[in-house]
Amino acid sequence: MKSDSVVSIKALSCTYPGGVEALKDIDLEIYRNQFVGIIGQNGAGKSTLLQHMIGLLKPKQGEVKVLDTDTRSMAVSQLATKVGFVLQNPDLQLFAPTVREEVAFGPSNLGIEGRELEERVTSSLETVGLGNQLESFPLTLSKGDRAKVVIASVLAMNPEIIILDEPTCGQDHKGNTQIMDIATSLRNAGKTIIVVTHNMDLIARYAERIIVLKKGRIHMDGSVREIFSRPEELLETHIKPPYITRLGQRLDDCLGREETYLNVEELGESVVRRACETGTLPAGHIIPKRE
C-alpha cells in the first residue's frame, strides 16, 4: 500500500445470495486528499463498493484496507472514526430530538465527553453553517439543512475519509451547491472526499478524479477531464458527459481547437479567445469572472 493511499482494494469480488455478481475483481487505490466521484448506471455496483469501504460488507473474495487496516479486523463503529458516511436520504440518519444531541451521539459513543464533546459539536456545526441551530429539532429543518446536520454528525467523529452517497438527490440548486462547497472546503482542510452521484454537472465542477463502474467492474478511472474527453467509451455505460462538455465537443470546428470543457466559464473563455483570434473581438478582450 502506498503511503498516501487511504483506501486500498485488491481483487475484490462480491456475489450476493441469489447469485448476483455485484463486484468483479476490483483493484482500486484512493489517495489522501483526493476528491473522487464514483459513477455508473443503476446496478453497476456503486453502493456495494461503498458498503465495503465502510465495513458494512466484509470481503469474502479479495481485500479492502482503510488507512492501512484490513476492514475485516475492524468493527463498523471503529471504522466510523476513519470513514464517515452520509446516506442519500438524510432522514434515515436523523433520530435525536435536537441538532446538538444528533451531532454529539457518535463522539459520545466513543467515550468523548465534556469540553471536547462540546467543541466537536460546535465546530462541526459551524463548518456546515448551522452553528445557530443547536437546539432545533432536526426533522423540522429544510432538506438541505438536514443533510448538513448529517454531515456535521459525521465530522464530529473526525474521520479522514468522507463518503457522500448521492448527496444532491432531492436538493435544489442552492442545496446542491452548498453541500458540494462544504465537501470542497473539507477536502481543502485535508479530508479525502468520495462522492457517488448521477449528476455529471456537479462532478465536473467539483471532483478531480472519476471512477466509472460498469456491471461490477471498473470501466474507466482517470481525471475528470480525461474521462469526459472519451464520450464514446463513457456512453457504453449509458452515461453522457455534462451538457456543456458535449456542446464544446460539437463546437470544436468553430473554436479551432479540441478541448474538453468542464463548465460554462471554460467554454466561454474559449469562445472569447477564438473571437479575438478571428478579429470579432479586440485582442486581449477579457470576459468578466462569474460572481
Ligand X SMILES: Nc1ncnc2c1ncn2[C@@H]1O[C@H](COP(=O)(O)OP(=O)(O)OP(=O)(O)O)[C@@H](O)[C@H]1O
Instruction: Point out which residues bind ligand X (CB under 6 A).
Output: 16, 18, 20, 22, 40, 42-48
β-bridge partners, 275 = none
β-bridge partners, 35 = 193
Return the number of the residue (138 or 216) whose C-beta is nearest ligand X.
216
The answer for residues whose C-beta is within 8 angstroms of residue 270's C-beta and 6 or more apart is 248, 255, 257, 259, 261
The SS3 of residue 276 is helix
The answer for residues whose C-beta is within 8 angstroms of residue 173's C-beta and 6 or more apart is none
Helical H segments across 128-218, by residue range: 143-155, 173-188, 200-206
Return the number of the residue (18 or 114) whose C-beta is nearest ligand X.
18
Return the number of the residue (40 or 241) whose C-beta is nearest ligand X.
40
Could you give the CA distance from residue 53 to residue 69 in angstroms, rounded to a whole number?
11
Closest distance of CB 63 from ligand X, Å = 19
* CB distance 103 to 124 below 8 Å: yes
Handedness of CA 130, 135, 141, 147 (dihedral sign): positive
- Cell (9 digits) for 254: 468553430
Return the number of the residue (196 or 204) whose C-beta is nearest ligand X.
196
Return the number of the residue (1 or 20) whose C-beta is nearest ligand X.
20
* CB distance 265 to 288 below 8 Å: no
Return the number of the residue (23 or 154) whose C-beta is nearest ligand X.
23
How remote is the C-alpha of 25 from its chain's centroid?
23
Q: Letter for the amino acid at 60?
A: K
Return the number of the residue (22 or 154) whose C-beta is nearest ligand X.
22
How remote is the C-alpha of 126 from its chain's centroid?
21
Picking from 23, 22, 27, the residue whose alpha carbon sits closest to that of residue 11 is 27
In degrees and rounded to multiples of 5, residue 207 shows phi and psi of -85, 165
Return the number of the residue (18 or 111) whose C-beta is nearest ligand X.
18
* CB distance 42 to 52 below 8 Å: no
Closest distance of CB 147 from ligand X, Å = 18
Handedness of CA 271, 276, 277, 283 (dihedral sign): negative
